[in-house]
A = this chain, B = another copy of it.
Amino acid sequence: MLEHGGNLQAAAERYGIPIAKWLDLSTGINPHSYPLANIPAEIWQRLPQETDELNKATAEYYGTRHLLVTAGSQAAIQALPALYPPSVVAIPSVMYAEHAKNWLAHGHKVMPLDSLPEGDLPTEIDILVLCNPNNPTATTLPAPTLLRWHRQLACKGGALIVDEAFMDTTPELSLCSKAELQGIVVLRSLGKFFGLAGARVGFVMAEPKLLDALSEKLGPWAVAGPARYAAQLALQDTTWQAEIRRKLAEDSLRLKQLLAKYGLSPVGSHALFQWVPTEQAISLHEHLAKHGIWVRLFSQWSALRFGLPPANGWEKLESAIAAFRD
């Protein structure tokens, strides 16, 4: 399997530091996660059911009724390639790697894009898969650009697939409300903004025909009942969402400024992470790990991705970075 952020257990063994002592900045998960009350016993007991409450919460939060709940975005990333005929699938070279892995595994031809075109897409592309905002670079793409590419792909029976795992802090950029159009698929998730990566709840927005095929492929009850219940609570809670958007914007700026202070100015900034290409990526990653701080290293791009520290982690991060500079 691919390496991911979050593999703290391996780091703990490698560096001989117990898991509880690490500052884990490797994942891009909101450290101020949605606070969940107790899950009612009946939710654990009965098979997961479609409920009006969750349907209402998702329709209001995502602005569409054309969606399917999946066991995290990962379930959709694994299943989507089987729903298309052999295709030329363009995917940015610097992007969350599970997409390319799964399209390749299903026998599609993957065309890595070192940069996105200014105008039309190359004509040989059938399917374009993007992360917007991009993970790990934090680049965002405006909806008009995406919709122009979508029209080009849809004309030939292709598709635009947008992974919006990091979209919740910039909902105005989302394509969710357009996903009922033929040839647009949007992925969302509770993992990052809501900080509920353990719940394994994702959503696919697409035209009904594709959702039906995906639902049949994924089968019944793939998402745990307690996870669906958590999703309902989190998506309904607009007060928490507004507060946390403000809090994340503050934290993101603070992290950007902290890194810049030590000559590590981010090239890309997201509310939940900073993207820092630097010649010293490998040695800084090693240095931080020895200090019990786990960030994500992209060695092929000589870059680091820093997630947000929790309230008690800022000082540790700054003193470790300062020590590297000394």
Q: Which residues of A contact B (CB under 8 A)?
A: 1, 4, 6, 8-9, 24, 27, 29, 33, 35-36, 38-39, 41, 43-50, 71-72, 74-75, 78, 191, 195-200, 216, 219-227, 230
The answer to whether A47 and B197 have CB atoms under 8 Å apart is: yes
Report the Cα distance A230→B35, complex, angstroms.
19
Give the contacting residue for A195; candidates B6, B8, B45, B195; CB below 8 A.
Answer: B45
Report the Cα distance A44→B30, complex, angstroms.
12
The answer to whether A75 and B222 have CB atoms under 8 Å apart is: yes
* Residue numbers in B under 8 Å from A4 (CB-CB): 47, 220
A308: min CB distance to chain B, Å: 13
Q: Given contacts A6-B46, A45-B197, A71-B222, could you give 6 more A-B pairs where the C-beta distance is less than 8 Å?
A: A4-B47, A33-B41, A44-B198, A74-B222, A78-B219, A198-B226
The answer to whether A221 and B72 have CB atoms under 8 Å apart is: yes
* Residue numbers in B under 8 Å from A1 (CB-CB): 216, 219-220
A191: min CB distance to chain B, Å: 8
A-B contacts, 17 listed (Cβ < 8 Å): A1-B216, A6-B47, A8-B49, A27-B46, A33-B41, A33-B45, A36-B39, A36-B41, A44-B199, A44-B230, A45-B195, A45-B198, A47-B191, A71-B71, A199-B224, A200-B223, A226-B227
* Residue numbers in B under 8 Å from A223 (CB-CB): 200, 224
Give the contacting residue for A222; candidates B200, B216, B221; CB below 8 A.
Answer: B200
Give the contacting residue for A198; candidates B9, B46, B74; CB below 8 A.
Answer: B46
Q: A71-B222, A226-B226 are in contact. Are A198 and B27 (CB under 8 A)?
A: no
Q: Which of chain B's residues has its CB closest to A36's CB?
A: B44
- Of the candidates A35, A39, A50, A224, the one having the most CB atoms from chain B within 10 angstroms of its own CB is A224
Report the Cα distance A71→B27, complex, angstroms.
23
